[in-house]
Structure 1
Amino acid sequence: MSFNIYVPKDERFSHVKMADALGYALKLIVQVLKPELESLFDSTPNEFDSFQDVLKLYEGGIKLPEGVFKDIRENIPSELIKEIFRTDGENFLRFPTPQVIKEDKSAWRTDEEFARELLAGINPVIIRSLQEFPPTSKLDPKVYGDQTSRMTKEQIEINLDGLTVDEAIRKKKLFILDHHDSLMPYMRRINSTSTKAYASRTVLFLKSDGTLKPLAIELSLPHAEGDQFGAISKVYTPAEQGVENSIWQLAKAYVAVVDSGVHQLISHWLHTHATIEPFIIATHRQLSVLHPIHKLLHPHFRDTMNINALARQILINAGGALELTVFPAKYSMELSSAMYKNWVFPEQALPVDLIKRGMAVEDPTARHGLRLLIEDYPFATWVQDYCSYYYKTDDTVKKDSELQAWWKELREEGHGDKKDEPWWPKMQTREDLIESCTIIIWIASALHAAINFGQYPYGGFPLLRPSISRRFMPEEGTPEYDEVATNPDKAFLKTITSQLQTVLGISLIEVLSRHTSDEVYLGQRDTPNWTTDAEPLEFFHKFGDKLRKIEEQIMSMNNDEKLKNRFGPVKMPYTLLYPSSEGGLTGMGIPNSVSI
C-alpha cells in the first residue's frame, strides 16, 4: 500500500532509481524493519550502555535474530539486502562510519565543533546576528507573558575577550541560534508525549580567528501555572571539567535535539520539498513543454512529486517514521505547517536571506556587492542570460499569456494561503522573471543539497545530532544529577534518542543522503538536445564552466588553513556545495532537483 500512490506518469521515478534501492529501502525500513525492531527491542534492553556501544553500529553492528530477515528475504532482492545491511551474513545491522567521526572519534564534543556546525553543518540557515541583549521575543505577551531571555551580561562578558556586550553587538561579534519563539507555543503539548525538550537560545561570540565560541545556552519551558505567566528559563555556560562540564554537554545536546527537528521539519521538508511542489504543478498545468520557462525549470522538478508522495505515505504521515524519530512526535506536521506562516518567497534567495539574518551586509566595494560578517561562511547563475534571450523587453513578459497564467495559479492556488501577500514579484518585468526563476532553481538545487546530503555525514552519528530527548535536565540533589556526576556518558545516553529510535533514524537518513546512479547534477541535462536554440545552449555550457570553477574554488578554500570553519576539529572538509558527485553516500553534489 505504501507504493499505491498517485503521481502523474511523467513524474514517477525511473526504473533505474527504483533499482538503486531508494523505494525498496524506504519500504524495507518502514514496513519491515520498523515493526521487527520494535518487537526485538521489546524483549531486549532499549538503551546504549556506553559510547562504545554506539560506535559498534559502524564497527560491528547489532546482532539481530534470524527471524528479523524472514519478511525481508521474501520481499526484497538479495542484492538490496546486502547493500542496505552491508554484510554477507545478513545477521548484523551495520552502518558506514559517518564522516564526522572518521578522523577523530571525540572531536564532536568540543565547543569549537558545536559552533562550527551552525555555519557548515546540515542546518546553516538559522543562525543570525544578535542585535539586542538580552534577546527578546515576538510572541504575543497577552498570550505568552514575558518571554524575554533571562541571560545576563555578567554571564557572557567573561568570555568576550575584554569587550562589553554592547561593544560586541556594535562590532557585530555576537550571534544567536534562536529556537525559542518557534517552539515555545508547542512545548507544553510536545512534552506531554514521551519527549522532554526545551525551547532554546544559544549565544555565540565571533573570535579573531573567524571561528565562533558558544557563550551561553538558555533552555526554556512554559510556566507551570499557564502560558500567560511567561517562560521558566535556566541559563548554562561553558565549563571545562567536573559535573558542570557534563551539564554543559547535556545543554548542547538539548540544543542539538531541537535544531535537528527544526532542520528536518522546517528547513528541509517545509522550505524545500513542500514549498517547491506548487511551482511544479503550476508549471505543468499552465506552461506548454515548448515554452522557454518550462524548458528552463523542468530539470529542477525531476522526481520531486514522487519523493513527496512517498514521504506523505510512509515518512511524515501520522504514526510514520518521522514522528517516531524527531522530538515533536505527533505534533511534527502541525509544527511544520504552522511555520509556513513565516515563509516569504523573495527571502528564500541569496543574498536576501543572508542580509535578513544579519550574516552579511551590502557593500559596493566587496565581491558581488556583499560582505559576509563571518568571512568563512561555507554555505553562478545563467538564468539572467537565458531569460534575456527569450524576453527582450518587459513588455514581452507582460504579454506572455502562459507565463501570466502560470504565475497567477502558483500564487492564488499553489500558495493560496499567501496569495494576498505584497511581497510576491508582480511578473511584469524581466527582472521579476529572472528573480523568480533564480529563487525556484536555488531552492530546488543548491539549498536542498546544502541541507540534505549532510544528513548522514553528520546526523548518522546520534551522539552529535540526537533527535529526541527523553528526560529533562537533571536538577541538583536528585539521583539523576548524581548519575551525571558519577557516570556522565550513561546519563547522556539515557537523555537522548533511544537505541530503537537511533537505529530507525539513521537507517532513514542514510537512504535519504544517497545519490542514485541516474542523478542529474546542476549544470547537466539528461537530454543534450533539450533546445535547438544555439545561444541558450552556449549560455548553458558557460554556466557549466562556471560551476566547475566554483568547485575548484571550494577545494582551494578547503585547503586554506586560515579558514577554520571549513575543516574544524573533526577534520571534515566542507563539501556539501560541491556541484558534482558520484553516486552513493558522498556528502557532496548538487542535483538539479529535490529528488530525494
Structure 2
Amino acid sequence: MEVYTVNVATGTSEYSGTNNYIYVTLVGEKGESERTLLDNPGLDFCRGAVDQYKVTSPSHLGALLLVRLEKQRYWLEDNWFCRYVTVQPPGEDKALTFPCYRWLIGDIKVEIREGTAKTLRDDSLPQLLAHRKTELQERQTTYRSHTPNDTTNTLDMSKVFNGFMLVSCCVSLSFRWVTWTPGMPRCIDAKTEADLPQDVRFDNEKRSDFEHSLHYALLELSLKKLAISFGKSWSDLDDFKRIFWKLRSPIAEYCMEHWKEDQFFGYQCMNGSNPRMIQRCKKLPENFPVVPNMVQSSMAPRTNLDKELKAGNIYLLDYAIMDGVPTNTIRGKPQYIAAPLCLLYQHPDDRFIPIAIQLEQTPGLDTPIFLPRDPPLAWLLAKMWVRHSEFQVFQLLSHLLRTHLVIEVFCVATLRQLPAVHPIYKLMAPHLRYTLEINCRGRTQLLSSTGIFKRVVSTGGEGLVILAQREYKGLTYRSLQPPNDFPDRGVSQLPNYFYRDHSLMLWEAILSFVSGMVGLYYQSDHDVQEDLELQAWIRDISLEGFAELPKFGLPSKLSTREELSTLLSVAIFISSAQHAATNNGQFDWCAWVPNTPCTMRLPHPTDKDAVTMEMIMATLPDVSQSCVQMAITWHLGRAQPDAIPLGQYTEEHFTEGRAQEVIDRFTAELKEIEKHIMSQNEGLELQYLFLLPSRIENSITI
C-alpha cells in the first residue's frame, strides 16, 4: 500500500470555503489511487485553509499526471474555490504542485495538471493530450465563437442591448464572441456581468466594495443637498468648491488653485489624464490659419513662429475626431461639443504653454482664433472648451477603447484557445483578472442608453459610439507600442514629459520579462510556428477580436519569438501601465469640474468680446452634473482595496524554479524603477506618480 500526502488550499476571499463533500483521486502513469473523501463536511475547507490528508493506492502510481477533484452537495449547495493541491509521493522529499485557481460549482468533477508549463509539443502521453483537448473543448463551449462554416443552431438576428445594436449569430449557447456595436473590437457575449462564468467574476469583497463606493460618493453629495439640484447652475467659479468635502486629493486641490494658468494647461497635455494626444507640429494645418504676429507676444525674444516650427518647439492638439459627433440631450436640453485645434509652445524658460486655440475645424468669422492676449474670460473659456474635448477623448478613446476594449480581445482569446498548462496562459492570466466583468459593467452602467454617460456627458448616447468608431477605424498595432508611439508623434525630446519617460522604462522592463519567459518555453522561432494552440490564439485575436480592422497591422500568424514577445508585452503594458496612466488620475484632473468639464450646456463662443462670467457659468455643467462627475471619477479612479500591483503574482501559475527566477528579476527591476521615479519627483511641486509600479495594477479591474 502506497501513501501519498496531499495538501489542499482553499481560497482566501469571502465565501471561498465549503461544507460540501470533497473527493480526490490521484491519476498517474501506472493507474489511479483510491477515490478518497477528504473530510467530514463543515470541518475542513474553510476560507484560507490548507488542509492535509493521506491518500492511499494499492501500488505506486508512477509519474503523477492529474489530480481529480470532485465536489458533491452535502446539505445545501456551497461553492468552493480551490487554489491549489500539492502531492508528496511516498519516499520523495519534494511535493508536486497542481495549480487550480477556480470555482467548483454544483456537483462537479475537475482534473488539474501539475504546474510545470508545457506547450503542445511538450506532451506526448495520450492521457495528457486528451486532457488538453477536453479542457479547450469545454472552454470553447463556454466562450464560443460563431464562424462562417458553423451552421449548427444558428439564426441571423439582431437585438437591442441597452440602446446599442448587439449583433449575434448563435442562439444555442450563452458565451461567445459578439459584436457589441459595429466598427468596434468584438467582446464577450454577456448581457450583464451576471451572465459571466464565476471564474472571471469579481470576488465578493470586490463586488461589495465596487457597488458601495459610488453610492457612498453620491450620498456624501446628496447629504449636502447638491446632487438633487437638477438643472441649477452654479453662481460663480468658487461655488464648485462646495462639492469638495471628504472627496479630495492633493492633485485635485492643486488643480483647483492653478487650473487657470497656461503652464498648468500645458502640463496636463503631457502628464494629465490623456497624455498620448500631444504631437509635434512641423507645419501649421491649413485649417488653422495662425500667423506669426498673432503669437509673437507668447514667444521668447528674437524668435518667431516660423523659427520655432523649424526648431521643433511647436506642438499641436487636434480634436478633429470630435467634428460632427452627435450631441446628447439631458433632461430635454441639448448639450454641446467642439472640435478644437490648440497650438502649444515649448518656451526656452521651460514652460509648455498654449498660444492659440480655434474651437472648430473650419476657420471663419464665427470661428475666431483665441489668444493669450485676448480678454481673460475669453481665453479662459477657450481653454475650458479644449479641456471639455479632452474629457470625451480620454474617457472614451484613450481609456475605454485603447485599454479596456483592446484587452478584452486578449481575455476572450486566451480563455478560448490556451489550456491552463500552456506557458502563455500562465503568463497572461494575472493580467486579465476581472477585466471581463468590469467591461460588462461599463457597457451596461456607464455607456448604455440609461447609463451615467447618457445622464451627464455631452457625447452620451449615439455620440460616444460614433466617436469610438472613428478612433477604432484608425487604430494601429504600432501605436500601441511605446517605442513607436512617441517618435511617431514627434515627442521624444519634449522636456518634462514624465508619462513618456516612465512608460518607456516600464515597457523595457516588461519586454525583458516577457522575452525571458518566452525564451524558457520556445527554444527557436520554429517552436513558435509549430505551436498549434498559440497559432489558434493569435488567429482568434486578429481575425475574430479585431475582425473589422483590416489595417490594424497585427498578423494572424506568429513567426518568431520576437513577434510573440512584443505582442505579449503590448497586452501586459496596456492592461497595467497604460490603463493606470489614463484611469488612476481621473479624479485628480476632473474633480475640479471647470478644469475638465464632462459637458457644456451652451454653444462655444463666436465673439471674444461677448464672453462674460454669466456665460461661463451657464455653459459649465450644472450642480447635479458636477456632482455626478466628481462621484464617478472618484469611484473609478480611486485605489482599489484588493489591487495586485504590477509584477506581484498572488496566484502561482508557474511552479518551476527557472520561471520564478525570471519573475524575481522582473520584480527587482520594478523596484529600481520605483526608486528612480521617487527620486525624480523629489522637490517637485506637482509630482507625477501614476506610473509608480506599486500603484499600477496587474490588470484592468476598474
1:236 matched to 2:370: yes
Match of 2:295 in 1: 156
- Percent identity over the alignment is 26
- Among 424, 427, 435, the residue aligned to 1:304: 435
Match of 1:169 in 2: 309
1:107 matched to 2:258: yes
Matched residues in 1 for 2:220 and 2:264: separation? 36
Query: 2:252·2:591 contact (CA, 8 Å) conserved in 1?
Result: no
Match of 1:526 in 2: 650
User: Per-residue deviation at 1:237?
Assistant: 0.4
- Among 314, 321, 327, the residue aligned to 1:182: 321
Match of 2:590 in 1: 459
Matched residues in 2 for 1:279 and 1:37: separation? 44
* 1:392-422 deviation digits (Å, cap 9, x = unpaired): 1100000000000000011111111125654
Query: 1:411·1:419 contact (CA, 8 Å) conserved in 2?
Result: no
Query: 1:270·1:337 contact (CA, 8 Å) conserved in 2?
Result: no
Query: 2:315·2:345 contact (CA, 8 Å) conserved in 1?
Result: yes
User: Per-residue deviation at 1:266?
Assistant: 0.5
Matches within 5 A, 1:225-304: 233-239=367-373, 244-304=375-435
User: Per-residue deviation at 1:29?
Assistant: 7.6
- Of 181-190 and 397-406, more deviation after overlay is shown by 181-190
* 1:500-538 deviation digits (Å, cap 9, x = unpaired): 1111111111110122222111010122x3212212211
User: Per-residue deviation at 1:99?
Assistant: 2.4
1:9 matched to 2:198: yes
Matches within 5 A, 1:505-516: 505-516=629-640
- Among 94, 97, 100, the residue aligned to 2:248: 97
Report the residue type matching 1:326 in the other structure.
V
Pair 1:350–1:390, CA change in 2 (3 A): same
Pair 1:294–1:129, CA change in 2 (3 A): same
Report the residue type matching 1:437 in the other structure.
L
1:213 matched to 2:349: no
Higher strand share: 2
- Among 392, 395, 400, the residue aligned to 2:523: 392
Pair 1:273–1:422, CA change in 2 (3 A): closer
Matched residues in 2 for 1:104 and 1:257: separation? 15
1:56 matched to 2:242: yes
- Among 579, 585, 592, the residue aligned to 2:693: 579
Query: 2:327·2:336 contact (CA, 8 Å) conserved in 1?
Result: no
Matched residues in 2 for 1:458 and 1:188: separation? 23
Unaligned 5+ runs, structure 1: 59-93, 137-147, 224-229, 361-371, 561-566, 581-588
Matched residues in 2 for 1:104 and 1:196: separation? 24
Larger Rg belongs to = 2
Pair 1:273–1:376, CA change in 2 (3 A): closer
Matches within 5 A, 1:11-90: 11-19=200-208, 21-26=209-214, 40-42=228-230, 46-58=232-244
TM-score scaled to structure 2, two decimals? Answer: 0.67
Query: 2:252·2:587 contact (CA, 8 Å) conserved in 1?
Result: no
Matched residues in 1 for 2:196 and 2:368: separation? 49
Query: 1:531·1:537 contact (CA, 8 Å) conserved in 2?
Result: yes
- What's the secondary structure of 2:367's corresponding residue? strand
Matched residues in 2 for 1:428 and 1:213: separation? 46
Aligned length: 499
Matched residues in 2 for 1:32 and 1:149: separation? 45
Q: Write out the 4+ residue segments of structure 1 that deviate beyond 4 Å after TM superposition.
A: 1-4, 26-34, 36-39, 187-193, 419-423, 474-478
Match of 2:270 in 1: 119
What is the RMSD of the two structures over their aligned residues, measured on CA atoms?
Answer: 2.9
Query: 1:195·1:329 contact (CA, 8 Å) conserved in 2?
Result: no
Unaligned 5+ runs, structure 2: 1-161, 163-190, 501-508
- Of 383-392 and 298-307, more deviation after overlay is shown by 383-392
Report the residue type matching 1:377 in the other structure.
F
- Among 435, 460, 468, the residue aligned to 1:336: 468
- What's the secondary structure of 1:523's corresponding residue? coil
Matched residues in 2 for 1:400 and 1:457: separation? 46
- What's the secondary structure of 2:499's corresponding residue? coil
Query: 1:121·1:458 contact (CA, 8 Å) conserved in 2?
Result: yes
User: Per-residue deviation at 1:265?
Assistant: 0.6
Query: 1:176·1:203 contact (CA, 8 Å) conserved in 2?
Result: yes
Match of 1:541 in 2: 664
Pair 1:231–1:421, CA change in 2 (3 A): farther
Match of 1:517 in 2: 641
Query: 2:432·2:699 contact (CA, 8 Å) conserved in 1?
Result: yes
- What's the secondary structure of 1:41's corresponding residue? coil
Pair 1:249–1:284, CA change in 2 (3 A): same
Higher helix share: 1
Report the residue type matching 2:446 in the other structure.
L
Pair 1:539–1:409, CA change in 2 (3 A): same
Match of 2:479 in 1: 347
- Of 153-162 and 388-397, more deviation after overlay is shown by 153-162
